[in-house]
Structures are given as C-alpha cells and as structure tokens.
Amino acid sequence: MVVSRTGTFVSHPDESYILGQSIFSLAEWHQSQELADLGHEMAAGKRGVHRLVDVESGEPVWFVFAPVASVGWSVAAVIPEARVMSDVYAGLNRHAAMLLGGLAAIVLLIMLAAAWITRPIARLAAAAQELAKGNLQVQVPGIKGHDEIAEFADTFNAMVRDLKRSIEHGIREAAARESLERELQVARQIQTSLLPTARPPFPHRTEFSLDAHTEPAKIMAGDFFDFWLVDDDVLALVVADVSGKGVPAAIFMAVARTILRSFSGPGRSPSQVLAIANRIMAADNKEEMFVTVFHAQYRLRTGEMTFCNAGHNPPYVLREDGSIAPLGPPTAPIVGVWGDAEFEDARVCLAPGEALVGFTDGVTEAADAQGVLFGDKRLEDLLATVCREPVEEICRRILHEVDEYRQGKDQDDVTVLVLRRTA
C-alpha cells in the first residue's frame, strides 16, 4: 500500500480504500491505537517494522513501512506472521522430527540394552525362586563373560551345588545319628535290664528293706548297683563306679557286673570275689580302665555285714540314735589295674532300724554354678534329716538334692543304694 502525507491511501489491495479511506479512519473505525500510531510515524516520514494484530483478521502480522522522499508519501506492506515464520517453523519441525527420531532411537537402544542386561538377572531371579521352592537341581545356563553378572551366575551355580552336597551330607549324618541314638537307646535298655528293676526287690523278705537308683550323666552309665541272694541268709550288695562315662564305661560296667555275679557264691568272701575279678579284668586291660567297688555280704538273721571296699567312697551307717558313721577308709585298691593286688575284708553289724547308705562320687562331687562341691558334710547333714525315713524316701531325697544343687546339669553318674535292717 501507499499512503500520502495525510494518511490517505494512494494505493491499496482493496480499491475501495484508494483516496476514500485513510489509515487514521481505519484506526478510528477499528479503535486501534497501534494503527493510529503507525499512521503518525508514516506521516512523519519515518521507517520501521512493527508487529501487531490485524484489525480485520485478528491474526498477528508484521507492518513494514518506509518513506518515499520525492513525493512525501510512505510505502507499507502488511505480511502475515505465519508467512514470515513459515521457513522457521518448517526448520523447527524438521529439527523436532529429527530430535524425536533420535530420542526414539535412543529409547530403543536403551530398551534393547536393558533387555540384554536384565535377561540374565531375570534368569537368576527365576533360578532363585526355584531354589526357594526346594529345587536343588536348578542351574543358571547361558550366562557367559567376565562381568559381575556372569560371576554372580557362576557363584550361584556353585552355591547350589555346594548346598545340595551339604544337605545330602546333613541328611546322611542325621540318619546316622538317629541310627546311633536308636542303638544307644537299645544299649541303655540292655544295660538297665542288667540291674535289678523290681521294687520292692524282695517283697517276701521282712528282715530288711532295700532300694537303689542310678541317674546316668549320658545315655549310658558307668555307675552301677546290684544285689542278689547268695543263699537264704546272705544278701550280696554292690555299688560301683567305672572310670569315665558313656559307652566305654557302660561296656566295662557290664563286664564287671557279670564277673562279680559269676564268682560270688557261698563260702567266698567279698575280698575273694574282688580279687578274682581284679585278676580277670587286669589281665587284658589295654585301655587302663578301672572300677571302684563296694561289695558286701549281709547276713539277714544277725545283721552282720562283711564287706570289701576297693577304692570306693565309704558308705554311711545311719544309727538308731540318729548319728551318722562312715564305714572307714577303703580296704583294697581299685579293681582292674594291678592283677596281683591284695584285698581285705572288714565287718560291721547293723542293729534293727539302722541303715547302710552306699553311693558313688557323683553325689559328693556334684558342683554348683561356682564350682563348689556338694561334699561329704552336706551329704551327712542331709542324711541326718532323713535317717528315719523309708529307704525309698532316702534315695529320692539324695537324688533330688544333688540334682537341685547342680541345677539340673548332668556332670557325673549318680548312684545311691540304701539297705535298712527291719528285724
């Protein structure tokens, strides 16, 4: 368009504007101050470029004007912004398309790389789930290389193999342990069956009352007691303690008990029986085990007791007046070590109502939490309080007090035998 000095259109695409309208009349019609300001600048002979909104279309346009100095007019052009920016938008669209394509390619590469990386991890996770279900045959195949995941897979496979071997070994050990425990239980039953089990042991005899008990420290005991009638008037008594504990002591105990029973008989004193047993057991005792034995023969009608104490704890006699008296020191050495050792007898007589209490060192050597032993004095005090109780109660109280003192811990075999003369 061409505009005169007064703002009148000299040339315009719309011929109805030529010499009939001015830029100012358009500004007033459309109430556009921006257009009026442009008219003043053009009338003043200025040049410039302005962005404004087209008064007719409402679209953003660029208004470019410059003076024509020879006639004092101004030439102007109105260019839609869309046309001006079309190349820019096209370039931006191309760049955006390239950027989106590049991003899509990057995302695709990341997804492929992630799948390549996570596939071994997924295999490891699946194998771990199978292992958690108890499948010890699971392995993670197809993971090669020298990276951490390959090392992890190799470690996992080795771990599963080791775990399988360990479990199989544990099962075999458990089965062997159960088998051994069953055998030990059977052996314990056999050992228990070797000892007198009937209570009361001789219910038809009124001349005496008798009770005895053994509490092993392990499944099998080295302590033992025994009693039997040598003849109608003689009762044989044995309280013994084999060195050591467990199965070896139990086997040695069975041998000692069998020998003592086999060679005891009328006309043979306790010292003679122990001398024979000592020669037999010492003859082939490569393990150098031994047994301490208190062996006695008690005459039922008179209360006289002949005994031989082979290195054993001296029994106590509970007198009728409530006093407590030990049977003195041992009369012979331990059994099973020196084949030519000499054994001697000693004698004591029980009055009606008096009792003999035999025991093993598991009683006096029981220790509390501080390691203090139960001791002879504490046993004597206990016997003084129960001296007139039935033999069953005396045995029960001794075993209970010892167990309480050592707080239920199995330290050594404990054996108690109590004989009371009743007539």
The model carries a pTM of: 0.62
What is the Cα Rg of the chain in Å? 58
325, containing H or E segment: strand 324-326
CATH of domain 205-421: 3.60.40.10
121 or 208, which is more confident? Answer: 208
Sign of CA dihedral 179, 184, 185, 187: positive
Task: Quote the tokens at residue 170.
Answer: 């544990």
Distance CA 258, CA 191 (A): 11
Residue 45 pLDDT = 87
Domains of the chain, residue spans: 2-83, 205-421
Query: Does the pLDDT of residue 234 top 90, yes or no?
Result: yes
CB of 22 within 8 A of CB of 5?
Answer: no
Task: Quote the tokens at residue 264.
Answer: 């005891």
Place 199 in a pLDDT band, splitting at 50, 70 and 90: confident
pLDDT in tens, 357-403: 999 999 999 999 898 999 999 999 999 999 999 999 999 999 999 99
CB of 149 within 8 A of CB of 143?
Answer: yes
Residue 230 pLDDT = 94
Sign of CA dihedral 273, 279, 281, 282: positive
% of the chain with per-residue pLDDT over 70 = 96
Residue 272 pLDDT = 95
Residue 13 pLDDT = 87
Average of per-residue pLDDT across 108-133? 81
pLDDT in tens, 65-106: 999 888 889 999 988 888 877 888 888 888 999 999 999 999
% of the chain with per-residue pLDDT over 90 = 44
Query: Does the pLDDT of residue 191 top 80, yes or no?
Result: no
230, containing H or E segment: strand 223-231
- The CATH superfamily assigned to 2-83 is PAS domain (3.30.450.20)
